[in-house]
Amino acid sequence: MTKIAFIFPGQGSQTVGMGQEFISQESACKEFYDQADQLLGIELSKLMLEGPQEDLTLTYHAQPALLTTGVMIAEKLKKAGITPDFTAGHSLGEYAAIVTSGVMTFADGVQAVHNRGIYMNEAVPAGEGAMAAILGLNRDELKQVTDSVTAEGEIVQLANLNCPGQIVISGTAKGVELASEKAKEVGARRAIPLVVSGPFHSELMRPAASKLQQMLSKIDMQDANVPVIANVNAQPVTSKAVILNQLVEQLYSPVLWEDSVRTLLAEGVDVFIECGPGKVLSGLVKKVDRKVKTYCVYDEATFNQLIEAAKEWS
C-alpha cells in the first residue's frame, strides 16, 4: 500500500510565473489567486505572474504567494484522486501543510502568513540580521561553533537542518559572519550567505512570535484530518492547540527538515510530492534516502507525469 506525503517549500522557492499554466487553464485554480488578491487587498497575483522578482521576494509577498500556489496544487491533486497520508512543509511551507490538512481555511491561512511576513519584517530591521548555508559539517560540530560565537555576544544559531551536510545558520549579521569563518576553520567546505530579509528561526524573531500568537489565537482552527509533521520536533501532530503553539515556536526554533523526512520514512511513506514552484525539497529528500520516489508538481507537464506514475501505485 503506497503511503504519500505532500510537502510544501518555504521562502526562496518563489518565482515569477508560479502557477501560470494551472490558472490559465482551470477556473478552480484561478479562484485561489483571485481570493488571495481580495483578502489581502493587493495585486498579489500580478506580482506572482508578472513580477518583478524583487517585489515578489519581499517576505510579506513571498509568504502568501507560496501558500496560495502550494494549496492550489494540493487541491488539484486531491481532485485527481491523489490524497496525502501526511503533510509537511519547510518553515513557511508548514502553513500550506496545515491548510491542506484542514486545520485552517485557505482564507485564514493566506492572511495569517501575510501578517507573519509583516511581523518578521518588523522584528529585525533589514541588514541587522543574516542567514548562511554551511556545507560539510554535522549539527554537533556546527552547534559548537554557533554556541561559541553567541557566548562572545553575537547571537547565531542553527536554523534549518536540511539534510546531511547542509545546515543553515541564522542570527545577527556579525554573528553569522563570525560563525561562517569559524565553521570553515573547523572543516566546513563552504559558507554561503543567503539572500533573505531577516534572521529567520533565530532568537531574534521572538518579538514577532508574540504578535503571531495573538493573531493565530483569533483564527478558528480545527484538528488536522491528515497528520502534519511539525518543524519544531519532526513529529506527527493533529491537535489544533498543539499546532498553534508549534507554529509560534517555529518562528524562533530550528526547522528539523532532515528529521521530518526520516519520521515520514519511518511512518512508511514511499512517495513524496512537492507542491509548489521548484524542486528544492525533493532534492533534500533524496539526500536523506536516494531510493524513495519524489515528484515535483508545478506545471501541467509535471502534474500529468505524476498522474501517469500514480497509475502504478494503485
What pLDDT, in 10s, does the model give residues 17-62? 999 999 999 999 999 999 999 999 999 999 999 999 989 988 899 9
45 and 184, same domain (yes or no): no
Residue 1 has pLDDT above 90, yes or no: no
pLDDT top residue among 314 and 306: 306
217 and 288, same domain (yes or no): yes
Residue 166 has pLDDT above 90, yes or no: yes
Burial class (CB in 10 A: 0-12, 13-18, 19+), 268: exposed
Q: Which domain holds residue 139?
A: 129-196
pLDDT at residue 121, rounded to an integer: 86
Number of domains in the chain: 2
* Domain termination site, one of 172, 196, 220: 196
136 and 116, same domain (yes or no): no
pLDDT top residue among 227 and 121: 227
Residue 195 has pLDDT above 80, yes or no: no
* Domain termination site, one of 178, 196, 214: 196
Mean pLDDT of the chain: 95
Confidence of residue 314 (pLDDT cuts 50, 70, 90): low
215 and 134, same domain (yes or no): no
pLDDT tens column, 249-260: 999 999 999 999
63 and 13, same domain (yes or no): yes
212 and 189, same domain (yes or no): no
157 and 212, same domain (yes or no): no
pLDDT tens column, 118-149: 999 888 877 789 999 999 999 999 999 999 99
Q: What residues act catalytically?
A: 91, 201
173 and 29, same domain (yes or no): no
